[in-house]
Amino acid sequence: MVAPITGPTVRSVDKPREFIYSQRYKQKRPFDLQLPYRLDSAGSVTFNFPTNPNYGLASGARNDLVSSSTIGRYQTQAQSLAYERLKGAISDRASMGENLGQLGESVRLISQKAKIVADAIRRLRKFDVSAFAAWMDKGFVKRNSRFASQLTLEINFAIKPSIDDIYSAIEILQNPIKSPTVRGRATIQNAKDGYSTTSNFSRTWQFFGKVSAEYGARVAVSNPNLYLANTMGLINPVQIAWQLLPGSFLVDWFIPVEQFLGTATDFFGLRVESSYSTLFTRGRHSEVWTTYGWGGQTNVALVQRVAGITLPSLTLRPLKTPSLKRAANAVSLAIQAFYK
């Protein structure tokens, strides 16, 4: 009997201006397996090594990227973002465990704000213009920075999440899985400088490009009760404890601790088939040998796919321009912290 999978078939080219290393596998019909794949390729764009024409510019550019710890960090960041999008493509998620822990305060805030709105509307219907003054005194437009910051935090971290989770819970009950075939992808632009020197030479290099990560799978519900409890956020006590820890959301802005804790239970109640994890790194590598006046530029592309879901490790989130909502939250926290 012939094995359904054969390989790997390896191709290797190592020339001064060109480098290729690939590994690929083959499968027989029905071609329903996600097979490992690897391709490292580099081709020089400029090559200025007049006294050393056999210098391995292409392989050196590839080796710089493969061994770079900074590129590895970018890959982990891209994986973290892609993994979050993969979960979002499978289903909406609620945080009922966290909400139960904050139930009393959330109910108080929601009922308090709803009562203010209802009271103002009722009085305005009776042509009671004093409702405007009451609205400004205890409503939503008081001209006081501390009040505004407090209201911003209440809405963004108590009222809105509770309402959103009610909506998510309804969506989960109506449509447990958005699609049987799901993907999540993310790309991060990056730049990396390198420098090496000895008593005989000095060499610097730079890489400008981007790193992408992609996850994909076919999913189906295998245990409806377990899956429902999981998507409602009720079966991971460690994650719930982190969510209830004061200030944990600030840490999650920079390090995705909540996501990391959730990876232990993210696929509970699901059957995951034909899954894969892929990393792409592509861009231009430049290097200069200041001692000899050598230099060159190389286009580099690295692709690696493995079967299964490779969980992202804990790392700093990529820096990005904050949204208006996050900026408002940050300002509100600062006002609350330093008001006195």
The answer to whether position 176 is within a domain reads: no
Question: At 94, phi and psi to the nearest 5?
Answer: -115, 160
In a domain, 267, yes or no: no
- pLDDT tens profile 148-162: 555 665 665 556 666
Q: With 50 as the cut, is the pLDDT of residue 163 above it?
A: yes
Residue 333 belongs to some domain of the structure: no
User: Hey, what are 155's tokens?
Assistant: 């809405």
Please state, as a whole number, how many other Cβ atoms lie within 10 Å of the Cβ of residue 59.
Answer: 20
- Residue 146: which residues within 8 A CB-CB, separation 6 or more? 335, 336, 339
Whether residue 232 is contained in a domain is answered as no
Supply the pLDDT for residue 67. Answer: 86
Give the pLDDT band (50/70/90) at residue 211: very high
Number of other CB atoms surrounding residue 29 within 10 Å: 6
Confidence (pLDDT) at 270: 84
Q: Residue 94: is its pLDDT beyond 60?
A: no
Q: State the pTM of this model.
A: 0.68
According to the model, what pLDDT value does residue 101 have?
A: 46
Task: Give a yes or no: residue 117 inside a domain.
Answer: no
Q: Is residue 330 part of a domain?
A: no
Q: What is the pLDDT of residue 305?
A: 95
- Compute CA distances 269 → 37, 131, 227, 229, 272, whole Å: 29, 52, 4, 9, 10
Tokens representing 238 are 């460690």
Closest by CA position to 210, among listed 85, 78, 319:
78
Name which residue leads in pLDDT, 91 or 141: 91
pLDDT tier for residue 279 given thresholds of 50, 70 and 90? very high
Domain assignment of residue 69, yes or no: yes
Domain extent at residue 61: 1-91+183-211+275-307
Asked if residue 120 belongs to a domain, the reply is no
| Lowest mean pLDDT, pick from 28-32, 75-79, 104-108, 287-291 | 104-108
Minimal CA–CA distance to 64: which of 293, 336, 297, 264?
297
The total domain count for the chain is 1
Query: Smallest Cα–Cα separation from 300: which of 42, 49, 1, 57?
Result: 42
Question: How confident is the model at residue 321, as a pLDDT?
Answer: 47
pLDDT of residue 220: 84
pLDDT interval class at 292 (50, 70, 90): confident
